Structure 1
């Protein structure tokens, strides 16, 4: 019996392991010079799961590649930018996904993190998909107000799994709100 349970658990872990955030495009706000850009670059390069960071100074945009199999934490990215004295204006994540259909307000686990899709319309996600993180620390206050009206679920405002969340591992677990 233990062997059967072990095989079943291994199957589900292997199936879920395919979903992985591979890349991000982060735009920082408040940068005024190349020294500012360098401060953000240095902060992002210190994050343990970041493999490589390329910067486009003109767009104030950073392209990040992540280490294979590493758990990517969007809050750590935002925190690094804030610790450097700036803020995140935009964060797009690109992930390798298992084939699945996504509906509005559906929660999907990618790389051990939960993502809540606010604007999905029953489409099949491609094997590689890019989506925008729209939580408070990833967009302007004005944009957050706009996107938070797309769902009546309480977790959109708190950023934590609430009773409205399906398959919630716990009321205090973090959930990221995203748009395709």
Structure 2
């Protein structure tokens, strides 16, 4: 009887482990934040981003409100983490561009809305979902991608992306 329970537990654990969506190998994130009015605002975002143990460095451009976050290799971060950190500081994401390895897209819940993946060692892509672009841009994108069923559903665990390079 114990053997049957042990086998069941092992099988259940394997199913659980393989069903978890993974987000792997983001090497850099470029975040343009909105709502900032002073250097203290950017400092609040900077502090929030630096609380992530995967962060190596955060560079800030006060002229464009851009935060370039360099990450440790092998991290498992989701783009949602950056959005949450910016919002925790009291601001919003106007744009999020991610640099990663191409296999990151095939191993997770990224949905490519343009082109095909290149053979480059690293790719850049922009997250197009609500909360990762300005409200005005989201309205425009909603019209553009109205035939993309997953975009209309607005599932926060799916990330619709557009390749930049």
Pairwise same-fold verdict (TM > 0.5): yes
2:161 equivalent to 1:156: no
Q: In the comparison of the two structures, how many residue pairs are matched?
A: 141
1:80 Cα offset (Å): 0.8
Higher helix share: 2
Contact 2:146 2:152 in 1 (8 A): no
Moved more, 76-85 or 151-160: 151-160
**Structure 1 portions without partners, runs of 5+:** 1-16, 99-106, 161-172
The answer for the alignment partner of 2:133 in structure 1 is 139
Higher strand share: 1
2:39 equivalent to 1:34: yes
Contact 1:118 1:151 in 2 (8 A): no
The answer for the alignment partner of 1:6 in structure 2 is none
SS at match of 2:118: strand
Q: Specify whether residues 66 and 81 from structure 1 end up closer, same or farther in structure 2 by C-alpha distance, changes over 3 A only.
A: same
1:95 Cα offset (Å): 0.8
The answer for the alignment partner of 1:48 in structure 2 is 53
Contact 2:127 2:162 in 1 (8 A): yes
Q: Which of the pair has the greater relative contact order for Cα pairs under 8 Å at 6+ separation?
A: 2
Larger Rg: 2
**Structure 2 portions without partners, runs of 5+:** 1-21
Q: Distance in 1 between matches of 2:137 and 2:113?
A: 13
The answer for the alignment partner of 1:85 in structure 2 is 90
TM-score by length of 2: 0.76
